[in-house]
A = this chain, B = another copy of it.
């Protein structure tokens, strides 16, 4: 820091691609602070250090930071200062804060800069200062990249690139950077294994009418794939050459850049004579609206995932209270059942398995050491998903392990009502997620209950289980819900120290009708898996909700039973019996 002439150093905790899962190489914050949660900002001055993280990680961070001298800053608590404010208290006016502009999106950079400026401080790009002190820093991964076969992808990469260029032109640009890893993967019909759960690979992309470039470590591409890319006139250049390339962009370039996905370093790496158009990435927008081809494959994938889930539920039902089962065994068992399905590629995230009070810890990661033993008492929350060549799944079921209390049944039924009400919603084109979010919450709100997370996130197609740009949550998101968008529908309720409830299906938006009053849209539920009838208090459901539930269960039975063995069919029949 002294050599770089900065009085503080700021680590954003994100990588150059704004990834949810990062290669070890970019785990700067865990390396320097010891805190291993998925989100956090680390700031150090010449005298002290602090780490900001959110409520999911308050307990974990306190434990991991103990004895380090690093102060824990609890985000979104009224008494917690913002990093800029905290820095203002430690530094003098005119002091400079260093950070690595490569690991900060344009949007994050602007926010940081504005905050520092308000306090008389400035910001400066120092690059990654950890390089000097991180002995044995992991190298970037070199896993092989593979094609997402056209049989599953449905659209040729040349067609996707054409669509991207059309959107780029509509926005007055003639080229675009692809900087988020799933944007690159989608556009080029490629997948990788560089990080867990998300089938992406470390890369950048550049697309203009005359030039399509994939920036990636060349060792990751075998000669066959290289040949195919050449046929499609896609140049492969070294990942490290991306910054050299953008520095050489000619002054007649008009480059579309997504400020939430592109690093400040990349933005500043573009010559100032080049015009920039700031817009949500074309690839992000296009991949959010799944094609009919993709949706057909997702429906098939949901059958496979449903079969795996029914297998798991039946195994649990048969064995709980008889053999020793821990929460961690459930993590492994889910993977085991999914692995039997064709085209399965791995879990889409680390399953969340919470017995009773553990279910109320929303982002709990169970380990063999922390796993509780599951006995025939209480309720179990299981949130899991799979990556298949024909789609990505994400499902939560809350399972009764014994006769539930009246209050548990009431709580569960209110959550279920919200899930059903959102499933049945119909709405005009142009509706945004926060307008729909309330439909899933109203049954809870009317009983002074609520949940602290969003109701729905986009789901990728054999890609990231969390995908943008739209969402269904209380916070405003300008991206409207459009036909083909595949999202989760997952209201919940968490009673600290008692239990957690969540019911999650994946839904897809589709056209309903075009009438005098406009174009109307609706949702189709894609997930196929029974909802635990023992937890439902039927008198709390209205006629429409009960009808939906019985029809859903009938459909689950009809679609899954041909794929199950006799014992499983018996189990599923019981699980899907109509409620009258």
Chain A residues with CB under 8 Å of chain B are: 424-428, 430-432, 434-439, 441-442, 445-446, 448-450, 474, 476, 478, 495-496, 512-513, 515-518, 520, 542
Contacts of A496 in B (CB 8 A): 516
CB atoms of B432 and A445 under 8 A apart: no
CB atoms of A442 and B425 under 8 A apart: yes
CB atoms of A427 and B448 under 8 A apart: no
Minimal beta-carbon separation of A443 from chain B (angstroms): 10
Minimal beta-carbon separation of A433 from chain B (angstroms): 10
Contacts of A449 in B (CB 8 A): 517
Knowing A434-B435, A435-B434, A436-B438, the reply to whether A445 touches B474 (Cβ < 8 A) is no
Contacts of A445 in B (CB 8 A): 425-428, 520
CB atoms of B448 and A512 under 8 A apart: yes
Q: Is the interface of A mostly helix, strand, loop or mixed?
A: mixed
Given contacts A426-B446, A435-B437, A448-B513, could you give 7 more A-B pairs where the C-beta distance is less than 8 Å? Answer: A427-B438, A427-B441, A432-B476, A435-B435, A438-B439, A450-B517, A496-B516
- Output the nearest chain B residue to A446 by Cβ-Cβ distance: B426
Knowing A448-B517, A517-B448, A517-B450, the reply to whether A432 touches B434 (Cβ < 8 A) is yes
Contacts of A474 in B (CB 8 A): 430-431, 435
Minimal beta-carbon separation of A188 from chain B (angstroms): 33
Contacts of A450 in B (CB 8 A): 428, 517-518
Contacts of A513 in B (CB 8 A): 448
Contacts of A520 in B (CB 8 A): 445, 448
Contacts of A426 in B (CB 8 A): 445-446, 448
**Number of copies of this chain that the complex holds:** 2
Minimal beta-carbon separation of A58 from chain B (angstroms): 18
Please, how many angstroms separate the alpha-carbon atoms of A496 and B515 in the complex? 13
Please, how many angstroms separate the alpha-carbon atoms of A495 and B516 in the complex? 9
Contacts of A434 in B (CB 8 A): 432, 434-435, 476
Minimal beta-carbon separation of A98 from chain B (angstroms): 28
Minimal beta-carbon separation of A335 from chain B (angstroms): 34
* Most chain B Cβ neighbours within 10 Å, of A435, A474, A512, A515: A435
Contacts of A439 in B (CB 8 A): 438, 442
Contacts of A442 in B (CB 8 A): 425, 439
* Most chain B Cβ neighbours within 10 Å, of A425, A438, A516: A438
Which 8 residue pairs across A and B have the least CB separation, nearest first?
A476-B476, A450-B517, A435-B438, A448-B515, A448-B520, A426-B445, A427-B445, A426-B446
Minimal beta-carbon separation of A129 from chain B (angstroms): 34
5 pairs, A vs B, C-beta closer than 8 Å: A448-B520, A450-B517, A450-B518, A495-B516, A542-B542
Please, how many angstroms separate the alpha-carbon atoms of A429 and B241 in the complex? 50
Please, how many angstroms separate the alpha-carbon atoms of A384 and B542 in the complex? 37
Please, how many angstroms separate the alpha-carbon atoms of A439 and B440 in the complex? 11
Contacts of A476 in B (CB 8 A): 432, 434, 476, 478
Please, how many angstroms separate the alpha-carbon atoms of A500 and B508 in the complex? 34
Please, how many angstroms separate the alpha-carbon atoms of A425 and B478 in the complex? 24
Please, how many angstroms separate the alpha-carbon atoms of A515 and B448 in the complex? 7
Please, how many angstroms separate the alpha-carbon atoms of A442 and B512 in the complex? 15
Minimal beta-carbon separation of A131 from chain B (angstroms): 40
Contacts of A436 in B (CB 8 A): 438
Minimal beta-carbon separation of A164 from chain B (angstroms): 23
- Output the nearest chain B residue to A543 by Cβ-Cβ distance: B542
Please, how many angstroms separate the alpha-carbon atoms of A439 and B427 in the complex? 11
Contacts of A518 in B (CB 8 A): 450
Please, how many angstroms separate the alpha-carbon atoms of A450 and B513 in the complex? 13
Contacts of A432 in B (CB 8 A): 434, 476
Minimal beta-carbon separation of A512 from chain B (angstroms): 7
- Output the nearest chain B residue to A449 by Cβ-Cβ distance: B517
Contacts of A478 in B (CB 8 A): 476
- Output the nearest chain B residue to A542 by Cβ-Cβ distance: B542
Minimal beta-carbon separation of A178 from chain B (angstroms): 26
Please, how many angstroms separate the alpha-carbon atoms of A430 and B450 in the complex? 12
Contacts of A435 in B (CB 8 A): 434-435, 437-438, 474
Please, how many angstroms separate the alpha-carbon atoms of A495 and B515 in the complex? 12
- Output the nearest chain B residue to A496 by Cβ-Cβ distance: B516
Please, how many angstroms separate the alpha-carbon atoms of A24 and B438 in the complex? 44
Contacts of A517 in B (CB 8 A): 448-450
Please, how many angstroms separate the alpha-carbon atoms of A545 and B425 in the complex? 19
Minimal beta-carbon separation of A538 from chain B (angstroms): 15
- Output the nearest chain B residue to A436 by Cβ-Cβ distance: B438
Contacts of A438 in B (CB 8 A): 427, 431, 435-436, 438-439
Minimal beta-carbon separation of A469 from chain B (angstroms): 15
Contacts of A424 in B (CB 8 A): 446
Contacts of A428 in B (CB 8 A): 445, 450
